[in-house]
Each structure stands twice: as C-alpha cells, then as structure tokens.
Structure 1
C-alpha cells in the first residue's frame, strides 16, 4: 500500500484432501412412504451388520494445492462444473465441514494445522445463498457483518490506515473506500 501499512497474509495449503459422505442414491433419496419404511428396516438391519443402508459417495479425492499470498486485494477464482466439489473444498478450507463427513488429508494455515489455527478468525465463508437485509445499504451491510464477526486486530489496522490517510491528505471516495478496505480485510491479502 502506498501508506506503508501491511495487511496480514496467510498461506493456505491443502494436501491429499479426501472427503466422503454416506448417502442414498437415485430414487432412494426421494422422500416417500416406501423409502421411509425401507430406511427404517435397513436401519434396523444395519445395527446387526446384515444390510448396509447407505452408499459411500466420494466428494473430493486426493485434492492438493496452495493458496499463496499475492498482490494486495487480488482474488483467487475457483471454477468447476456443477457437483465437482467446489463448495466442499471451500468449506474444508474454512474449517466448516459437516462433522458427519469422513475427511482425511491436511489443511494448514501458515504451517499450522486446523487444531493450532482458527481459520474463522481470519476468513469468512459466505454461502452463495447468503441472505441480505434489503433495507440496508452496502456500507451498512458490511459494517453489520464486521460487528457480528468481531474485528479483533483489524480495528487497530483500519484506525491506523484512516490516520495515515488523513496525514497524507488523502480523501478517497467513501463508497469505493469502504468496499476496498472490507474486501482486503475479508480476503486477508497483503
């Protein structure tokens, strides 16, 4: 940044990430009276290991990669066909996978495992179906989400940035300024 303020950066590595789920497939996944009775019967039989009641579906299979810190406020785009595991990968990196999923492999943040590092403190996962309050402006929505998630050391960084901008007599456009600062802090780019 031109004011000499460095944003924190995080390198995320994921190695041999493998995620599986137990699920009904085909017409068995549909809610019906017949399927309900079959599920109940299979559930009783599976207790005695007579009849397995679900199929194993592989969502991610040995996925590896590195998300390195890049130039300030750059984004990384994740593309793939429908049902290729994009959402599952993002949830795995954010530490928000459903506990019922069978997961193996490793995800590290700056060399620290998920047990040593809390990704929720430095990254936020926003679903593609995120709900927004229509009566709030973009600025109010971002400020509200910031307050809900807690700002931690970011508040001091933003206060220092505001002070340096004032000292340098920089008067940015308010809407663009809040968007850029929020984007940089959300992405943790440096």
Structure 2
C-alpha cells in the first residue's frame, strides 16, 4: 500500500465543509437557499400553508438555528415587486407584522433592509410571559420577512440571548441566502 498524499488528506477534511454550504432548492415552489459558511441546509416537510421549508444549522446547533419557508400568497400577485417593497417600508404594514408576533414575543428591534433588489423586514424578540419554561428565557429569535408577487419567504432564527448579537450577522446571511420564488 502506498503513502497517502497530504493533498488527499486536506481535500478529504475540507470536503464536509464544502458540502455543508451546498445550495438547496425546492423544485415545486422554486424556493432556493445557499447556506452561509459553516451552515448546512436540509429540506423539512412544509408546515401549515407553506409550500417549502428548510432547516439551516451549524454544527453546534441543537435546539437553535434557522428555518426558511415559503408560503404562497396569491393576493400578492396583483402587485409588482416595487409596490410590495413600498408597502413593506410603510408603518402600517410594519405594525401589522409586529402585532402578529407580539402576542408571544417582546419585540426588541424591528427594521427594513434590502437584499437582492427586494425589501425585507426584520424583528428581534424574546419570549414574553410569566410562566415561561427556563429554556425560553435563554433564547432570542430573529424574524425575517420578504414579500414577492408569488408569496412570503420567512426566516426564523433562534440563538442564545447571551451570544445573539455575535450570531445576528450569520442569521441574516441565512435569510439573505434565500432566493424567493
């Protein structure tokens, strides 16, 4: 048996990292996702009303990480992307988005952003309530919403409160790595 090349060892060690960043696509809906470095994505069964859903995690995530989903919204079809973007910039739409999650979350931060020529809206929140399980008090959630004429692409990322700001850029990279249908 011959000597193993150091090049082959390096290539073999690097292969899992390269594969972890492989793009994924749901052919039926068109939702595509390129995970950021260090993250891997896998398809999950769609939830209620969703056409596609992916889990996106790094190697250290157990009960943390992200999910990216696409929900068709036929009512959006009558609007152009520019019109949807203008609506998302508006205080009325943003207030509705905040209200939708504020029953369970204390919203810490909310703002619009632009990615791939489309507007998006982010909210960061902590679970609220008096009878929360201890674990719920330790985590923070990032919600990212993008509307297109075909529907809504949502990213929800959960991380430890203590290290959340350090991971926020990674979580946004998950969200902006999604290409809505």
Higher strand share: 2
Higher helix share: 1
Give the TM-score category using the shorter length. Answer: under 0.3
Structure of greater relative contact order (alpha carbons < 8 Å, 6+ residues apart):
1
Rg larger in 1 or in 2?
1
With structure 1 as the length reference, what TM-score do the two structures score? 0.26
